């Protein structure tokens, strides 16, 4: 079999397709690169590992400069990663730029996580890059990772990473709760994407009246995926037991006054400077979780 000629023919057709069918060129490129990756893999087994270097030297001259040795190795790696995987329908619609971001990762479960995030949230290549750069998968706890690997149901709060990365242009991390909230609001879209699936913004300093006095919820969200309100309280100290009591009151208020009968119970997220695992461990309300924040 003449692997080189077949690879060359597929690349030339792909180049023509890119110019004529612009609306679907990325999807076509993924398909073609997978096929070429298979040919490169088979050629390597038959002719040795140096065959990619030989092919790239000829392709640069005959097809284009971008088909250098590094690109061909990346295409082969793409095939090796996904040759035994069951492809999601949406994965086939992702661009080559998306796949280029994930193929350097070594853990197939991590790769699947990021591709699923692209599927659920319609992430751009740039958003995916930022998610990987901020190590979103690595910040999930092991319990959640095991659920994802086994395709078990996850709750809204399972996918909230720890720590939560918050962009800041401040010179130090000695801030008050108001400043922390403003940093979040300045990059609200990124904050919501980072929290997980389905989070939407309802308001900040959300005013509620309890026993004749006004109280203010730091951030009120709604999760359309899990059909529930989400109360977020911001603390620039270590997590304390009184924080649990405060957010619990707010959650119960939302359940009684805002939640409809068709919606699930409100969940609470306390974002704090320093965690205290014992407080959450002995908290009787499993709808409440805590996450630390990290300014970058």
What span, in angstroms and rounded, lies between the C-alpha atoms of 122 and 132? 15
* Average pLDDT along the chain: 91
pLDDT of residue 214: 96
**Strand 228-234 relative to strand 213-223, pairing:** antiparallel
Rounded CA separation 54/138 (Å): 38
pLDDT of 23 over the 50 cut: no
pLDDT tens profile 89-121: 767 778 899 999 999 999 999 999 999 889 888
pLDDT digits 0-9 by tens, 70-86: 999 999 999 999 998 88
Comparing 283 with 228, the larger pLDDT belongs to 228
pLDDT at 186 over 70: yes
Number of residues assigned to the chain = 296
| Of 155, 208, 206, the residue nearest 185 (C-alpha) | 206
pTM comes to 0.78
Handedness of CA 151, 156, 161, 167 (dihedral sign): positive
What pLDDT does residue 24 have?
Answer: 59
Q: What domains appear along the chain, each with residue ranges and CATH number?
A: 3-133 (no CATH), 152-295 (3.40.1350.10)
Q: Please measure the distance between the N-terminal and C-terminal CA atoms of the chain and give it in whole angstroms.
A: 53
Rounded Cα gap, residues 99 and 85, in angstroms = 14
């Amino acid at each position: 079999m003449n692997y080189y000629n077949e690879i060359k023919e597929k690349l030339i057709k792909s180049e023509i397709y890119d110019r004529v069918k612009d609306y679907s060129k990325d999807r076509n490129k993924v398909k073609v690169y997978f096929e070429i990756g298979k040919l490169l893999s088979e050629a390597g087994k038959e002719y040795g590992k140096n065959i990619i270097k030989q092919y790239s030297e000829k392709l640069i001259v005959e097809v284009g400069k971008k088909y250098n040795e590094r690109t061909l190795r990346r295409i082969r790696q793409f095939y090796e990663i996904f040759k035994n995987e069951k492809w999601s329908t949406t994965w086939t619609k992702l661009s080559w730029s998306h796949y280029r971001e994930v193929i350097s990762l070594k853990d197939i479960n991590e790769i699947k996580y990021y591709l699923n995030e692209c599927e659920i949230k319609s992430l751009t290549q740039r958003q995916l890059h930022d998610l990987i750069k901020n190590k979103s998968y690595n910040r999930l706890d092991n319990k959640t990772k095991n659920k994802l690997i086994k395709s078990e149901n996850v709750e809204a709060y399972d996918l909230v990473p720890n720590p939560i990365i918050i962009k800041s242009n401040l010179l130090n991390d000695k801030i008050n709760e108001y400043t922390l909230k403003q940093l979040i609001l300045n990059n609200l879209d990124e904050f919501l994407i980072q929290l997980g699936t389905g989070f939407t913004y309802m308001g900040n300093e959300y005013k509620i009246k309890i026993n004749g006095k006004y109280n203010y919820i730091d951030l009120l969200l709604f999760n359309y995926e899990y059909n529930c309100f989400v109360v977020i309280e911001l603390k620039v100290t270590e997590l304390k037991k009184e924080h649990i009591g405060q957010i619990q009151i707010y959650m119960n208020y939302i359940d009684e006054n805002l939640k409809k009968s068709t919606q699930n119970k409100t969940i609470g997220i306390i974002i704090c400077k320093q965690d205290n695992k014992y407080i959450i461990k002995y908290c009787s309300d499993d709808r409440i979780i805590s996450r630390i924040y990290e300014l970058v």
